[in-house]
């Protein structure tokens, strides 16, 4: 599912998203993800069983860090709308210090609907960061 969300053709409009072509395993056990470069920010869209078990009721997560692999602390103000939600959707990864956003897939729907919703949520984060296309991650432009 993570691989498919990153590979969706409409999820990579020209000039906006550059997929990094290698998988990455989070420092936390039982996590797998794919990196997405978004301007000066790197995102890791991952599936993490340990975060699912301890933080929120979702297996899907988005880590935000800079292109040097350090926690992207400068993005906190731009992601403030997520921190203001109840419960907050902006967390801090305890192992890496990176901003961490849970992604909530719909339940009881088709695989395509789940992928579409994951892409929508990643697009929302991209818009907050101000480095994504105005029409979103899933733009056909």
139 is a domain residue: no
- What three-state secondary structure class fits 52? helix
Q: Does residue 34 contact residue 6 with C-beta atoms inside 8 Å? A: yes
**Which domain does 63 fall in, by range?**
2-129
| CA dihedral for 93, 48, 59, 121, sign (positive or negative) | positive
Nearest to 133 by CA among 11, 9, 3: 11
The alpha carbon of 4 is separated from its chain's Cα centroid by a whole number of angstroms, namely 13
Rg of the Cα trace of the chain?
Answer: 14
Q: Does residue 133 contact residue 16 with C-beta atoms inside 8 Å? A: yes
114 is a domain residue: yes
75 is a domain residue: yes
Q: What is the pLDDT along the chain (141 residues), one digit of tens a residue?
A: 666 665 554 444 444 444 443 344 444 445 678 888 887 888 989 999 999 999 999 999 999 988 887 887 678 889 999 999 999 999 998 888 889 999 999 999 999 999 999 999 999 998 999 865 433 344 444
The pTM of this model reads 0.73
Q: How far is the first Cα of the chain from the last one, in angstroms, to the nearest whole number?
A: 23
Q: Are strands 41-48 and 31-38 parallel, antiparallel or unpaired?
A: antiparallel
Encoded tokens for 92: 């801090």
Domain count for the chain: 1
56 is a domain residue: yes
């Amino acid at each position: 599912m993570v691989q498919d969300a990153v590979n969706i053709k409409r999820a990579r409009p020209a000039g906006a998203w550059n997929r990094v072509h290698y998988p990455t395993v989070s420092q936390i056990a039982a996590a797998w993800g794919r990196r997405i470069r978004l301007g000066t920010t790197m995102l890791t869209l991952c599936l993490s069983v340990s975060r699912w078990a301890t933080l929120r009721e979702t297996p899907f997560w988005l880590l935000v860090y800079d292109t040097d692999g350090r926690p992207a602390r400068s993005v906190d103000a731009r992601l403030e709308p997520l921190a203001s939600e109840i419960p907050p959707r902006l967390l801090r990864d305890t192992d890496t210090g990176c901003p961490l956003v849970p992604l909530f897939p719909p339940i009881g729907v088709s695989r395509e609907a789940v992928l579409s919703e994951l892409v929508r949520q990643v697009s929302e984060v991209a818009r907050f960061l101000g480095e994504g296309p105005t029409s979103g991650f899933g733009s056909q432009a």
